[in-house]
Structure 1
Amino acid sequence: MPTGESEGILGAGRAIPRQAGEISKPVAIEGERSEMYSDKVILSGSDAPDAHALPFVASLGFVSRRHVFSDCLCRATEAELREVHVSKLNDIQDVMAARPEWRDNLRLIVLDETAAETLDVVQARWLTRHSGAQFACAYSTPARAARLMGNPAYPDPLGSLFPLDMGIDGWVSVLKLCLTGHHYVSPELLARPAEEVPQEPDHAERLACLTPRESEVLTLVADGCQNKEIAARLELSENTVKLHLRNIISKLGVHNRTEAAMIHAQTFQQ
């Protein structure tokens, strides 16, 4: 991985290489790729981390009290990064209280904006020293993320900032970049100072165009339910559920159900 500008699906962001820690014990991740994971990970040219560069087993923690990181997103992440085990935590104290053997395998902690803004720098640096874990923020509002770049936590230990709604391809690509020991900062944060970064568009307007039934389906998707379970809960056929999902994806202007679930999660965060 070259130092400097990162192109391709990641955009012209800053990628700063760091040494990733080694892990020795394998862990099997169960479950097969389902229809919600329709995208492929795309990395172009020299920006693509070597598949063998990832630790054979690593833990990744999503930290949020607002349920920003849905079960659907966690499943998609584990499905695309087979060698990574994903955990959801409420705050950094949960990380500190976790079993030492889990912390030893911890390679990346992704915070929402609120968790990043209140991050205890001393505790975070201790975790980085003892486990090699890096910290990142998945943001919904660029202005808040840009202000984080003036926070004492940036760039050490909070070295990466990227949008939560970047799409599953970009999401997995950036996580893979961070897990292989690099930092990534979204180009929109590097282009302008914090006060000039516009607010993220309100997704509530797009969600308002959904019918009540479509809203019910999307809520269950965001909770990690598959089509069969959604059909059973709503007493619909699976074909009807699929039709609702196609309409939801079209109305929200996204590519797949995972991106739709991200919009749902961000709206309730705001």
Structure 2
Amino acid sequence: MSQMTQLLKMDTEDGSIVASVARVEAEQGLRRTLLFVTMPGSVADCLLYAIERELPWLVIERVEHIQAACTKFAHPVSLVLIDPEHVKAAEDAAMDISRLHPLALTAVMELDSHNPSCSFPEIFESKLIRGVLPMDLKLDVWLSVIRLMLRGGEYFPTGLFHSYADKFVRNPTARPANGSASPAARNISEDDLSDLTSREIEILEMVSRGLQNKAIAAALGLSEHTVKIHLHNIIRKLGAHNRTEAAARFHDYHKPASRPR
């Protein structure tokens, strides 16, 4: 059995073949592409230098619009980072991006994670966006988030939850631009929580604090595969679209102003 096969066998027990392939290829020194879709100068040179220094196997490519991202590059794309103003265009091109870059995770760059440019419903309902990269993090934390995303891990800063929850508490009738009911408006009730097991509530609480599957698994002494199964059950029981929506609803429920009386 080859080293590649052995590593994949160990890593794909949880079914995450995309993240496993990316990790194995990175460990074996194969080149990958980090694609920025942003205007020139939007990403500080010091950040680009830090990526090149810490992740020498990564090739940085920069384009100014989504159409330019819908093409093949010399090395497979592992991560696509886009400016908030490109989100709608990225959604429109989601099928092309997924087809051309099947191993890539797509995330939005936010200059201020506490005052995000993208609305929470926009992130919830996205078919493409699977993370938010705050650009105001300390360099070592920022690089850690980049590494997580390169391995297929989703990241949503807790500030994003807090920002949206605060806005919803101030204006509970708020609706997203498309006129559909806001995800946070479908509040968690006592009955919803009663459907969850104690372990599921424990995991949901950790997700609402921004913890990723690997950290949750380590803290609870579980495998990542088990955590993913619990999350699947949580999302199904709450009728949420994804883990982010489930976590936001849980966060809203624990806001004093949003508790049922």
Q: Which has the higher contact order (CA 8 A, sep 6+)?
A: 1
More helix by share: 2
More strand by share: 1
Q: Provide TM-score, normalisation by structure 2.
A: 0.49
